[in-house]
Structure 1
Amino acid sequence: MAFLQLVPLALSASILGLLALLFRRRKPLSFLQGPPVSSWLLGHEYELTNQREVGDLEFKWFQDYGTVFRGAGCCGEETLMVSDVDALHHILNTGGYRYPKTKDDERSSEQITGRGLAWAQGATHKRHRKALNPAFTESQLRTFVPLFQMYADKLALRWRERFADSQIIDVSKWLQNTTLDVLGESTFGFHFEALDDKASDFQISIQKIFANSRQPFKLMTLWRTWKRLLPDPVVDYIASAYVTEEDVRFKSFLELAKGSARDSLARKGLNADGEKRSNNQSNMRGVEGKKDILNMLLRSMEDPKKRLDEDEVLSQVSTMLFAGYELTAMTLTWILYELSRNLNDQRRLRGEIDAILAEKGKNAMLTANDYDSMPFLNACVKEGLRLRPGVQFTTREADLDDVIPLAQPVISTSGEMLKKIPVIKGQRVHISIAAYNRSPSIWGSDSDQWNPSRFLRLESTKQQSSIGVFGNVLSFGSGVRGCIGWRFAVIEMQAILVGLLSQFEFQIPPAGLDIHAVPLKTMNVPMVRGELDKGLQMPLVVKRRSIS
């Protein structure tokens, strides 16, 4: 059915739902200041999703109204906008499961990655975490270091084979291929061979998953909002009748990801519940020796309290592929960009790398401990995550009436200084990861600038509350929903940066580079200004270093 034919249906359903909503709606945040609203129907949601650059609106609003203010959702909904450290600690850490993901966020996670960890809530989320925890222990993740190094070296070799010295290379595409190859092998023992130009259907699908998701039009913004305001049966009916291009891309990715995982298990003689397809014991002995995350997950499920069903297991694979592919590649891309703009920092980091390689010996393999012992390397990783978080915001919803404490008081509409914010059950909360990561009260007066040395001064990050799982930044989330794979991502980034910077120097092209940090769904991706139609790009001059 064509979209225009569905407009009357959608509007009729919306009017019924919204009338009921308006009759019972309260204005729970009317005491808070906030930016003016030009459209009751669209609120601030259309403006936020259509920003030319990440933070164009939000950063200014947080500067003008404080670390907590009243935002406007569609159809008169009030949203609590938050970047205050104590408020975030209360919501994400102390609050735990009392602030679950919002209904629309949960729906979106299920649509893209299935019934995996990103989708799960409450007790189901606890069960998923217990099943996955053994696969993400520090000792287990350290076994992947040689794999990370191998793909870093393979990327360097491909550049030497295919490009002349001091040539401009779009490093973003190559880093995506590298992280995809790493994830395929480490997650479920699959070889995508993206660095060998063997583009699979899955690779094409994941690289195009957000192809047309930038700057959604007004009706699409409203449809996304109606999904959380209207009853589920109405939403399901409309969604089944009107399938968007975005829906098709999400479905394709999920089917291909689950299919790849299912094929991998079939080759090992297993079902997705870990049971043997046959009595071939040699198959099982081979599986027991494997170190990929899927096998670790299956071995951990002997405990009935951890057991996942077949679809949940396959969904964990699609979740890890989606979360670990784009975000890690984007962070590495932004770090190389900043090092290209700040050559003194690049030289300092390379000197640290050269020193440890000289100490360990020419052909020695570095360990995770070696990476952790390099203070400026880790400062650069933390600064890249802080300044350019892969995900710029997330949403939560209070499941009870609550009072949220503030580290920085804000002024109410009546002029009162507020140290706490009361919220009612059902209150929607917009957690601004990007704004917190640039908060001057946490990071200093240069919080909007690249400065990895801030992480070498411990005094600069002292505060009453700390959040996040790494370096006090919020890029990996915090609390019960903090990213389970953050150590995996950090070690992978360490290994790839060391592998590349030991062999190459990076510079901005002679003609200059005008990079645009474009909001894409909740993500933050680099594009060249004036060439947004070409999508993700990061063209840098890559100069070879001599290999002695």
Structure 2
Amino acid sequence: MMPSSSSSPMSLSLPLQAAVVALAIALVKYLLNVLFPPSPLHNLRGPPAKSWLRGDMDQLFHPQGWDFHLKDIVSFGTAVRLKGFLGEDVLYLTDPAALRSILVKDHGDIFDEPPMIIERNKLLWGHGLLSSTGAAHKRQRRVINAVFSTSRMREVIPIFYSVTHKLEDTLVHLLQNGPRELDMLIWMSRTSLELIGRAGIGKSFDSLTEASPPNEYMMAAKQLIPLSFPLQGFMRAIPHIVKLGSPRILGFLAGIAPYQNIRKLKEIIYFLYETNEGIFRKRVQDLAEEKPPLDSVAGEGRDVVSVLIKENRRAADGDKLSDEELISQMGTLIFAGHDTTSVALSRILHVLALDPERQETLRREVTQACAQPGGDLSYDALSALPYLDAVCKETLRLYSPVTQLHRTPRKAAVIPLSRPVIGEDDSVIDRLTVNAGTMVVVGAAAVNRDRAIWGPDADEWIPERWLEPLPTSVAEAHLPAVYSNLMTFMGGGRSCIGFKFAETEIKVVLSILLSRLRFEPSEKNIVWNMYNFATPTVGGSGSPSLPMKVSLIA
């Protein structure tokens, strides 16, 4: 006798079916939680991911990602959850207390550059300041700090003037028959490289004349980032690739790699290191024999490398840097001191061209100061010019060359929020647990425009704000910044060690050029792209360029 349909296993009651489904879902969730435990950031709010594979990364690193950083992300608060590759959680921070905690206060020794960036920097520049971590990084900073002191800036500023006067002479010559459109990014890039070359490693790269042939070292150094940028997809593999063998083996593998960029990078890295090593060895020999330094016209014995060698000799035995570390600092100096300064100078010239009244105000100040007896201004006299200082600070605040920086904790950490955020479940979140290995993005440009800190006009370029007391909210934020409450040069153990060097370069160039030249916008549409450093282009594409109309002051 056949069983009735009501007792068939295919016809379980609806409540029982629901119970079975619920049990199955619970079992799947349990297994997923065991295999893939939920991120402690899951309750943070954030923008919806555009891609299940790449999450928000295409927007985060988009050349025109300004609105995403400065509007979309921060609309969710000072701690925001983004999505990375394959759905991993990424923490975007602009909260002052959280930044203090991870950069200087509670967890400064835990949060460091992501391993993929550290290992990439080792491959590009060797074991220098950008590629060392932990105790090794602190040891290098202790020695190098002395090189960038205020007293050293007073000694090196004559080199800055010498280079800038060369630029001045060339531009005046180009304009003797009337105003011309000049690509000021190219001139600022050439000048910045010559400044860091002579004052940094004691080597002249560019005579700064119109007909100067391209310097081989300069051309090679400028290719490092453009060649490595398309290799971003390999970044996550770098910490594993470097374990394949010794530097000799890695060099061999790079030389036979199927990707042309990798082979070209290998050639450039070897060329730059061998050139730096040759300069270094000769400098050591000259100093030991008390001879004039190599290319004495360039460094005049006051360049960073010469001083660094001397400081290293005086350092305690436990702090002394190896020859390899010292040579690596040379490549690091060129990279860190060239592009950022050139784009900062270009941005200042651009905003001044767009604001002729303020350009004239600054011109009057520097012209009057430079007209005083004694020729070029001293470091202290230059630093005392209030409007020049205000223009530099305001431009570096509103238009930070570096938009974002990244940190990764080596172990789990709990960080506080000074401005709590509302979670997905409507709860108030005033502290966050961050797991080891989580990508943390420091929104430097967004912090510099935070209205709760800088006021309702934070998105406006107003140099005059620095000529009067800043809002109390600026000091009360206690941002972990090494420069004027700005995150432009970051803070903590990995802050920009050469910010005084960069600031002095910028002020010298502006004081000389503005006293002789007038800058006006060209008719071309200038669009600034993010990239590694904010970079001007015509129309948003093509090679970096900043055409401007330049004329002599009558």
TM range (shorter): 0.7 to 0.9
- C-alpha distance after superposition, 1:506-533 (max 9, x if no partner): 1112x3x42222122x321111116x22
- Which residue of structure 2 aligns with residue 259 of structure 1? 274
In structure 1, what is the Cα distance between the partners aligned to 2:507 and 2:291? 37
- Percent same amino acid at aligned positions? 26
**How many pairs were matched up?**
509
- Measured after TM superposition, the shift of residue 439 of structure 1 is 1.5
TM-score, normalised by the number of residues in structure 1: 0.86
- Measured after TM superposition, the shift of residue 283 of structure 1 is 6.5
Alignment root-mean-square deviation, CA: 2.9
Kept after mapping to 1: 8 A contact 2:99/2:479: no
In structure 1, what is the Cα distance between the partners aligned to 2:322 and 2:520? 49
* 1:264 alignment partner AA: I
Partner residue of 2:133 out of 121, 125, 129: 121
The answer as to 2:407 corresponding to 1:392 is: no
- C-alpha distance after superposition, 1:214-237 (max 9, x if no partner): 6x5xxx554334446x68647998
- Which residue of structure 1 aligns with residue 82 of structure 2? 71
* 2:188 alignment partner AA: L
In structure 1, what is the Cα distance between the partners aligned to 2:244 and 2:220? 29
In structure 2, what is the Cα distance between the partners aligned to 1:61 and 1:270? 56
The answer as to 2:538 corresponding to 1:528 is: yes
Kept after mapping to 2: 8 A contact 1:114/1:254: no
* 1:538 alignment partner AA: L
Partner residue of 1:192 out of 198, 202, 205: 205
The alignment partner of 2:487 has SS state of: coil
Partner residue of 2:414 out of 403, 428, 450: 403
- Which residue of structure 1 aligns with residue 448 of structure 2? 437
Structure 2 gaps of 5+ residues are 1-31
In structure 1, what is the Cα distance between the partners aligned to 2:382 and 2:65? 31
Partner residue of 1:463 out of 476, 488, 492: 476
In structure 2, what is the Cα distance between the partners aligned to 1:281 and 1:72? 58
Moved more, 117-126 or 157-166: 157-166
- Which residue of structure 2 aligns with residue 139 of structure 1? 151
In structure 2, what is the Cα distance between the partners aligned to 1:464 and 1:435? 14
Distance 1:21 1:177, change over 3 A: farther
- Which residue of structure 2 aligns with residue 296 of structure 1? 307
In structure 1, what is the Cα distance between the partners aligned to 2:401 and 2:126? 21
Partner residue of 2:550 out of 529, 542, 548: 542
Structure 1 gaps of 5+ residues are 1-19
Kept after mapping to 2: 8 A contact 1:177/1:194: no
Distance 1:96 1:526, change over 3 A: same
TM-score, normalised by the number of residues in structure 2: 0.85
Larger radius of gyration: 2
1:112-511 matches, cutoff 5 A: 112-163=124-175, 164-196=177-209, 197-211=212-226, 216=230, 222-227=233-238, 233=243, 240=254, 242=257, 244-248=259-263, 250-268=265-283, 270=285, 280=289, 282=291, 290-302=301-313, 303-358=316-371, 360-361=372-373, 364-460=375-471, 461-509=474-522, 511=523
In structure 2, what is the Cα distance between the partners aligned to 1:488 and 1:182? 10
Distance 1:226 1:34, change over 3 A: farther
Distance 1:31 1:112, change over 3 A: same
The alignment partner of 1:404 has SS state of: strand
- Measured after TM superposition, the shift of residue 393 of structure 1 is 1.2
- C-alpha distance after superposition, 1:311-363 (max 9, x if no partner): 211110000110101100000000000000111111111111122223x23x5
- Measured after TM superposition, the shift of residue 536 of structure 1 is 1.0
Kept after mapping to 1: 8 A contact 2:398/2:460: yes
Kept after mapping to 1: 8 A contact 2:55/2:86: yes
* 1:90 alignment partner AA: S
- Which residue of structure 2 aligns with residue 16 of structure 1? none
